[in-house]
Chains A and B, each alone.
Chain A
Amino acid sequence: MTEPDPSSPAPIPAATTPASAPFEVRAHPGVLRLWYWQAIVVVALMSLPALLISGLAFGIYAMVAVVLVAVLLVRAWHRYQVRYVGRFRCRLLDDGLLLDRGVYWHSETFVPRERVQHTEVDQGPFARHFGIATLKVHTAGSKVGEIDIDGLAHDDAVALRDRLLDRQGRDAA
């Protein structure tokens, strides 16, 4: 699940890492539980009509099959989430934010510190219960104008935001 992928991006050469130690943030461990419940709720809601229709049309065995498929779907989704959290890495360097994530589609995104226009820390009611938050970083860019960093501990999100905005000075555009 979290075994090292041979083709995963190698770390950025040492020359580019700044003198001061990077501030590194991982996903909040509790996020897996939150996302697990989310997966269960979403799959349950989606399979409910299928369950009714199959029950009415084909009987009990079809219903059992639907439930089985739903369970498998939740498990597959959860395995994906576990791998996502395992790969997720967010580092704040001297010159900007480096975000490394993705299970099948890897991506390594760098936002220069001066390019950050504004940030948001979002927390839904369930996420609040788990102490989880999303940090949204806005740039003036057009393709990736908003970068959502999901699954952070609320404290980490706030700390990351504070450090990110710390040295902001010039107009970014």
Chain B
Amino acid sequence: MERRLHPLSWLFVLLTQIRPFVVPLLAFLVLGRGASWELWGALGAVGFAAHAFVYSIAFRYRIGDGELVVREGVLWRTVRHVPFSRAQNIVQNRNVLHRLFGVTELRLESAGGSKPEAVMNVITNEEAARLIAILRGEAVTTASVEEGEAADTRLALGPGELLRLGLITNRGWVLVGALMAVLWQSEELGEPWSRDGVRQGVRAGAKALSQITDGLSVRVQDPLSWLLFALAFVLLVKVLSIAMAFITFHRFRLMRVGDRIATEGGLFTLRLASARLEKIQRLIVSEGWWARRIGRRTLECEIATGRQDGDPDERARLRWLAPIAPPADIDALVRDVQSGAGLEQARWRPLHPQAWKRMARSTALVAVAPTLGLSISISPWILLAWPVAVLIGIVYARGWARFARYAIDGDTLGYRAGWITRRWTCARIADLQTISVSCSPLDRRAGMADLALDTAGAGTTAFALTIPYLPIEQAQHLAAELRLAVAARRACPPIQGRAST
């Protein structure tokens, strides 16, 4: 039987479509004065609304034999067959408006391709639960996923933990940046500020801020006051970070549902994401300075998708398995997801004993060019910065190397490093995409090599699974061992279906 989207879908489709334009549109409508912009904006909105309406009316889907069949488009029609086995990542987004109408956006993603396999924008919560149950190959029940009996909660964050999360993270910078942008823009736009309450408010804020900073720069000369000002700013960022923690992870829960792992949470927008355990390619644990003081760590994962960093849907995907948790809980989760040795029991092995020297040497080399350039263009005294940079480099490298280790335990491979912020990463050997040993001229002199291991879905900025500064023979030996291991894992099927249920 073919089904349609929720009758109100056009509204949500429209909102999704105009999302990229919302911020500039609002800025111009609220802060700007240009009548032409409002006109163009209105015209565009009418066009988008018409398209959204027709699109959501024409959208059909049905459950076929082991597949979901989606029919969409009016002039250019597309019929897409999504086998259940390919719908690996399931994501639901429910913002305030969704929740008002009891609907949800359901998104099915596969490991490849640049677009999600299917996006249902929007269907009712019950219908979403029914579809997810079918996708999971279960009997159709009325219980929703998050309330289903099979869901086994592994982690739940209360207000206390969210408070700690705000303390150890700096997500508040996002809000500070947004605030700065608004104030800056209102200053730039200038005229005319009459009538409009919003404009006046923003203007007043901008003025107050500029007065504060101006006043400070005039009056505050002594370092103590600057220190106080800096402390106040840090405090502000922390307060905002706590707010962000509550907004993003309100009532956060991590669940094990059969062979899937699922998370949900969020204050305004409720995000539900799940993925099959075996599709989790890599785990990253991090522990900043503050986090270490209060005994907490963060666990995130990378999922195999064809998408790249920075696409707008990226944050909807399963990512934060544990935004914050005590080390023991994190370790239990790591063992649960990867069925490996975890972080604590892993047999960590050191890098090359001279690793820190090699690292400090490259810092010293890298620092040469900017200090030379600046000393020529500004003042020769800047040359004195070079020894300072070298010294900092040495201190950093020693701290980094003291913690840096790698481990191979059974089916998993781990690497850890860091000085102020410590990070661990681990992946299953069977999930490695490429294995490469590389050796730069500096490495060659020191008899070292890097072992770079690539996994699917790795962000370009995340802590890479590249083990640097290994003794060269050891790097080659490890690469050879890993090649054998990959082939062996591939050969025996039980590992393929390793997600124990």
Contacts and interface: CB of A to CB of B under 8 A. Distances in A.
A108 B111 contact: no
A115 B456 CA distance: 10
A58 interface: no
Interface string B249-283: 00000000000000000000000000000010000
A112 B491 CA distance: 12
Given A108-B436, A111-B434, A171-B111, A141 B483 contact: no
Interface string A128-150: 00000000000111111001000
A143 B455 CA distance: 8
Contacts of B304: 140, 173
A112 B432 CA distance: 9
Given A109-B436, A115-B434, A10 B476 contact: yes
A: interface residue count bin: 20 to 34
A2 interface: no
B486 A109 contact: no
B: interface residue count bin: 35 or more
A61 to B, nearest CB: 27
Interface in A81-132: 94-96, 102, 104-112, 114-115, 117
Tell me the dominant secondary structure on chain B's binding face: mixed
Nearest to B486: A112
A19 interface: no
A114 to B, nearest CB: 6
A20 interface: no
B455 A141 contact: yes
Contact of A107 (B111, B432, B439, B459): B439
A57 interface: no
Contacts of B112: 117, 140, 173
A15 interface: yes
Nearest to A104: B441
Given A15-B484, A110-B483, A171-B111, A139 B433 contact: yes
Interface in B412-463: 432-441, 444, 447, 449, 452, 454-460
A108 B437 contact: yes
24 contacts: A9-B439, A10-B476, A12-B480, A95-B487, A104-B440, A107-B439, A109-B435, A110-B435, A111-B433, A114-B490, A117-B112, A139-B456, A140-B111, A140-B433, A141-B433, A141-B456, A141-B458, A143-B452, A143-B454, A143-B458, A147-B434, A171-B111, A172-B433, A173-B304
